[in-house]
A and B are shown apart, each in its own frame.
Chain A
Amino acid sequence: MQAPPIHPIDHVDLPTPDRHELSNGAQLYVIHADVQPVIKLEVLFEAGRWQEHRVSVAQATNVLWREGTEQITGAAAAERIDFYGATLQGHNSLDHTGFTLYVLEKFLPQVLPLVFDLVLAPSFPKKEMDTFIERAIAQLRINADKPDVQGYRLLTEAIFGRSHPYGYNSTEAGLRNLTRVDLQRHHALHFLGENTMAFAAGNISADSRTLIIEQLERLPKGGTRPQDRNLAPLKEKKIQHTLPHSLQSAIRLGRNFGRREHPDFAGMFVLNTILGGYFGSRLMTELREERGLTYNIYSSVDTMRYGGYIYLSAEVAKGQEEEAIKAIYDELERLQNELIEEDELEMVRAYLMGSFLAMVDGPFNTAETIRTLVSENTALPHFERLVETTRTITAVELRSLAQKWLSPEDFTMVVVGPEA
């Protein structure tokens, strides 16, 4: 049977959320739909690594604010949240601390005030702090053996610098140095109204909305200015780390880029998709589907609130590192030297339009898209620009972006694996 006709997707719109500016400076975005009676509430505090006065304090605060107040123990709070079938997860990113709460709408009144009791007045019990440090160190030790984790650590350190919020790596010593006073200070300085952004998605009644606003407004007024942080990239462009017993090498390449609002971002988003951003990408096709060098290879443009980088990642068999690296460089150079054929460009446009549609499909996906933009301090119309660039960017424009951003010599390369 012959292929059925394909109906192109001409436009994708980001649904406009209800935006509330609260009396204490907090922002709330509400994405309502008539779906199952569930709510996903994500609350972020600008209290991440950028705001730290001491390394690892954001990570520790993020875990330990849930461990109780002077009035209620962490165990009792967990018991109550669990009892109502809710799930409270810590938010884990470099820029923010905070939480995601999944709850049946009918139980929101039982759960949300309690969550805010925890947020507002954590007691950071000493015992919980010790347990956290032990667990975090155990995880560091397990990760010491993982080529993928070590590759990421070494690369981000090289791109941003050893003391930079996006570059430093947690250490046992750094974790052991933390005190309760550090956590109290981090919490007091940064868990404030103006540092707060919240995203409520699901089937949200008027009562639920009022409750969410009321609880967010319990946060104290005030906000903090981010400190200035200097990029201090390492000089080395080739970093090799040996894990003698490893069967594969983790290859990581990266270079500094910029924020999502960088004028080249939208074009680089399309270019990255072609390079290594989807299954049909050039890296996947050449290194996996043609040569069987790797199970998974991808590239991405990772942006954060204050910066970003271009990242390439693959695990390859021992002895095939050089072939793989050469093949990756060949693909970078091909994008710099040759124009992308119209067929390929059309396919990437079509694929991306489908993925944009999925990004705004239903309240949860929509909320996630909005959260990504807002948390990176990017205005919502950025989404339209991304769609528009995807539809209209030319092969010539993509080639000049490749010439600007994808020169192999600008990348830092990390290889973690067995001895050659």
Chain B
Amino acid sequence: MTIVSTADLLAILPELLVMAGGCLVLVLDPLTAKDRKDWLAYFSLAVLGAAFVVGYWFMGALTGSPRPAFSGLYVLDAYGAFWKLLLILVSGLVILLAKAHLKLEEIDLPEFYAFILLSLSGMMVMVSGTDLLVIYLGLELMSLSLYVMAGFKRYAPRSLEAAAKYFILGSFSSGILLYGISLLFGRTGSTTLAGIRDGIAGLPPGDPILLMAMGLLVVGFGFKVAAVPFHMWTPDVYEGSPTSVTAYMAVASKAASFAAFLRVFLEALGGIKESWRMLLVAVCIATMVLGNVVAIVQTNIKRMLAYSSIAHAGYALIGLVVADAAGTASVMLYLAIYAFMNLGAFAVVTMLRRGGLEGDEIDDFTGLARRNKWAALVMLLFMFSLAGIPPTAGFIAKFYIFMAAVGANMTGLAVIAVVFAAISAYFYLRVVMVMYMKEPGETAGTPGYDVRVVASPAAIAVLLVAALGVLILGVFPDPLIQAAQSAILPLK
């Protein structure tokens, strides 16, 4: 008997491409002349392009039944393919963004692209793994690359601090996750999602060890998606990391973690839905409340966006606690749309320079409309989209997820979500207000003094894609909705 078949290897072709690409970048780096390092970024983009094409072909070819691989440890299904395409797209945009941003920050090292690719391959494993250990493997590959990237601005103490904190807490949460996995294994005798599901079916309801294992998994995944009360690392790490890395963490790592969260809880733990639902409803409410309320008092845009990303995790969790077809589709839709608007907002931050530094205070946006109309206009678009105001895509995302809650008779949850989404307008609008309704400072020490927008073609391309994404998905969301609905998990 052969352990690995050609079919298995074909199933992970996009992952292999990305992983090999990442290793190749590391090898090619010393062989590339100093002034040609940009080619490595283009090379990485080409790798992503190839992976995207293969992934897209897979998604098209996958009509109907999922194809298991590696004796049931891995699966090739539309659900995984949807997330993979999204993650590849996001990684491509982040590479483009980083190409310009790393130069500004004087940390222009091509390893960065290698880490993006390696981290991406981890995420791709996460979203397709059907065995807890495989998912864990992907999660660690993703996280380890992110730890390094968080500390990429190695001359800045804030960046190092962020990396250290992220690493320590990340490892701790991984440990908790592993502990949960081992308890599950102990109780059900399996680490595959299907095996655990069958094992749970044979257990008496309310099995304490099982519930404990479930709780530990909630902690582990809750940490990765930045849900309250496991969110504390987010503001510090988001603020300290280089902004292009922050964008990657806030968008890609969150999306991949949600994908795995959903798959594990719906496929493996679907049998004890009622017990995790209560827990997650509490987490979900706490996340929406805390994220939105604390964002109000932030003065640093990266911290504000960090709390905003916490709040958005809260909205997305609604789709998980709803735990039906509409819920799953709305989470997929939500995170896809969230990717565009959040990436766009962070992209604007990377372009803003105050003196020789990054303009990451909200004050630095003062009078931006008079300094650079286009930058202010796209930022306005992203802020309105994050606040969920039509006709931007953010409205569609919220509309569907709240609708899913009402459809599942969880009107109370929808009420809380809608109210806090309304409150969120306040802090998103503050950015718009300082950009449009204030004059930029003319003397040192006043807000908006000595701020300029450094626009490179790559960054403009990212902004263009993000802005068009927010607008087009707002006016013409149908293809994405269809894609999400056809790629939902087969619920058991």
- Does A pair with B? no
